[in-house]
Amino acid sequence: MLDQLLNLVKENAGDAIINNPAIPNEKNDEAISFATDGIINGLKSQLAGGNVSDVLQMLGGKTDVNNNPVTNAISNQVEGGLMEKFGLNKGAASSIVASLIPIVLSKLVSKTNNANDNSFDLNSIFSHLSGGQNTRHGHR
């Protein structure tokens, strides 16, 4: 799953990272990996914090990614990390996050819910995020 998500971030990193003068070209791959890890770790922390319902609803396409507390939490986490790791100011980090995280999450949701696209499925995502535990048990 990590490789597929990394590819999804790469495909959408154009203006946010690759063409962004705030991220030096030699740091592009590192920034893309950082954003990918931020999405995974953000989803994991949401699950670990007991926010299974919001994560399920978002990944299941039941709620809008743009107005979702899960997206906001991931965006805040990635923004703070970009500021710290790459020395970006809040405006630059916020701009990267706003033009990347919701788009990647929207595409992840779309691929997860597309019967003709098997690159992502809800069971394997949850298995990866939960370390193999069945977090869907008892959820409708």
* Structure confidence at residue 135 as a pLDDT band (50, 70, 90): very low
* Structure confidence at residue 133 as a pLDDT band (50, 70, 90): low
Query: Taking residues 104-111, what's their average pLDDT?
Result: 95
Domain boundaries of the chain, sorted by first residue: 2-129
Q: Residue 137's pLDDT is what?
A: 43
Per-residue pLDDT tens digits for 61-107: 999 999 899 999 999 999 999 999 999 999 999 999 999 999 999 99
Is the pTM value of this prediction over 0.85?
Answer: yes
Q: Which of 91-100, 105-114, 116-125 has the lowest mean pLDDT?
A: 116-125
**Residues constituting the chain:** 140
Q: Residue 139's pLDDT is what?
A: 41
Q: Name residue 32's amino acid.
A: I
Gap between the Cα atoms of 32 and 140, Å rounded: 34
